[in-house]
Chains A and B, each alone.
Chain A
Amino acid sequence: MTPCIPGSGEIISVRGLRKSFKARRGGAGGAAGAGAAAAGAAGTATRAGRVEAVRGIDLGVREGEIFGFLGPNGAGKSTTLRILSTLVAADAGEIRIAGFDVRKRPGEVRRKIGYVSQAGGADPHATGREDLLLQARLHGLDRSAARRRAEELIQALVLSEFVDRFVKTYSGGQKRKLDIAIGMVNCPKILFLDEPTTGLDPVSRAQLWTQIRQLRDLGTTVFLTTHYMEEADVLCDRIAIIDHGHVVMEGSPADLKGGIQGDILSFTVNHVPNAPEAALEALRGLEFIREAKAEGGSLRLVVSRGGEALPVVLRLLESSGVGVADISLSRPSLDDVFLRATGHSLKDGTAPVSGIGKE
């Protein structure tokens, strides 16, 4: 594949981005990616029939990195992505993509980017090769150049096994590969991927991660949304955590996790009324506990020197009559970062790993 020219500096800059939609009555079951209906489904604060999907976002993405937009469904991720890729006009804010103002020069921006929505975008009644050719022609390549570019992508992304079959016969993983190839046809400086691995099996997901890294290594900046912590952690060079239309934290996964000093000690207490409160009371005053929080029937502590803390905590709880199960001691995860920044867990209210969540 033709490598794009690497450079440095901020390739996406977003300042003060805001967007609200008309709230729809009962329209939440609409088509995947239906902006207003989807934003309304998960809902952020409303004023007089409007849903504020994005409430003042600032972002900077550096050239050549994989940037992840992490947040629960309905946080405003897809809306932001659609604004950045010229599909939706923002209410307010300044956005520059590869040096061009999205509002004033959408045509230039479209030449510089690839966009893969959650639904993908391949024509189910065409073959993969036809889809690649269509995309190439619309990006201004003539017939023979389009054929060459399609062939390059078929080789680079290993599509040859299925590329001449109709798209509607593809497996989820094959379809995703084609979608990404379509997004790469114009050799974009920035590739936008909306929830690229949602609904994929673990093997396809791992393959996709490898391919996304390869694209980055060839110089493409990748901007993706995800609600999987693991994906943000393992795949992304830097992430922004978004919740209720705000960016609550931005940085590399390692730096963000490093912001929590200590280990995470979490456990479930027995189903007795006030057991969590009793447990918190029993542990009050221990100098190695930096933070403690009860959530439902479980407790979550940030402790320094976890190995030493564990037996002490267990002994104290036992002597105060609180039964304990499911103990775990771990290094901080992005969920801990998310919890600390927002006061709630990223796992709350989102679909499990195989989810069909859409934003």
Chain B
Amino acid sequence: MRFASDFSVLFGRAIKGSLRNPVWLFIGMFQPVLYLLLFAPLLKGLSGVPGFPAGGAYAVFTPGLLVMLALFTTAFAGFGLVEHIRSGLVERLLVTPASRLSILLALLARDVSVLIAQSVIALGMAALLGLEASLAGLLVTLVLMVVTGLLMASCSYALAMLLKREDAMASVLNTVATPLMLLSGITLPLTLAPKIIQAIASVNPLAYEVTAARSLFLGNFADSSLAVSFALLGGLAVLAFWWAIRSLRKAAA
């Protein structure tokens, strides 16, 4: 089938490009790993504080770490696209018979694969440090992360086609991603936060995701945050994907 062949050829190109620059995969992991090594131990003293979730420091922090990975590494996917707009590769692919859909999906599949690989490495490190978690919960968490990754990478590609410049993209991404992270309870649980911050965070899909992931790690599949985060992130991912494919169709970047 035409689509499958185009997709696999394009995916092969993208993944090969990433493997040739593995330094980027590690740079993307640098910040989360620092948090794991230098920040998570600080949480050990907090267990028992009122409002601190059950499960020990690593079971509380690692879910946040995974969401951080999903947020930041895929948000920067568009930088690669800017480079390829400049090198002419994007235009060149658009003039071949390959469909726009296969071009975009191949990039997203690459980003999701990289994200999963990074998450597995991060989980391995956390396990070495003493994380104990439900395996089924971990797998569902990974699915949640894939949805987040699709959302962020799609937004990043649409932005890349809109702005076409790395510096402009970096400022937009930082402006959006930093408050999203701070208001998600990635580092410290929002249950510790003042009411006003909790209220603002209640419209942040990532806050539900972090809560859902923490329950999943403990093997609890019944928390309402799980359904809410799947619905919110899934809906947003569909919108973002539509934005990206539309940009690609009319970009002719």
Contact = CB atoms under 8 A, between A and B. Distances in A.
Interface in B198-243: none
A85 B88 contact: no
A119 interface: yes
A68 to B, nearest CB: 20
A82 B82 CA distance: 19
Interface in A216-274: none
Contacts of B250: 89
Nearest to B9: A137
B31 interface: no
A34 to B, nearest CB: 5
A88 interface: yes
Contact of B95 (A31, A35, A86, A137): A86
**Most A Cβ at <10 Å: residue of B16, B86, B87, B164:** B87
Contacts of B54: none
Contact of A33 (B5, B88, B93, B95): B88
Interface in A166-219: 179, 182
A139 interface: yes
A120 interface: yes
A53 B98 CA distance: 28
Contacts of B104: none
Contacts of A182: 92
Contacts of A89: 250
A107 B141 CA distance: 41
Contacts of A35: 252
Given A30-B164, A31-B82, A115 B9 contact: no
A126 B17 contact: yes
Main secondary structure of the interface of B (DSSP, over half): helix
A117 B20 contact: no
Interface string B53-88: 000000000000000000000000000001111111
B91 A115 contact: yes
A91 interface: no
Interface residues of A, number: 38
A113 interface: yes
B50 interface: no
B5 A137 contact: yes
Contacts of A31: 82, 85-86, 164-165, 253
A33 B87 CA distance: 10
B13 interface: yes
A118 interface: yes
A4 B88 CA distance: 26
Interface string A282-319: 00000000000000000000000000000000000000
Interface in B143-170: 164-165
Contacts of B82: 31
B16 A126 contact: yes
B96 interface: yes
A177 B10 CA distance: 23
Contacts of A135: 92, 96
B48 interface: no
Contacts of B85: 31, 33-34
B21 interface: yes
A287 to B, nearest CB: 55
A89 B88 CA distance: 18
Contacts of B139: none
Contacts of A115: 91-92, 95
Given A31-B165, A86-B95, A138-B96, A122 B252 contact: no
Interface in A64-105: 82, 85-89
Contact of A121 (B21, B91, B97, B165): B91
13 contacts: A31-B82, A32-B86, A110-B96, A121-B92, A125-B16, A125-B17, A125-B20, A137-B6, A137-B9, A138-B9, A138-B10, A139-B96, A182-B92
Interface of B: 2, 5-6, 9-10, 13, 16-17, 20-21, 82-89, 91-98, 164-165, 250, 252-253
Q: Which 6 A-B pairs have the closest CB atoms?
A: A121-B92, A119-B88, A121-B88, A87-B252, A138-B96, A31-B164
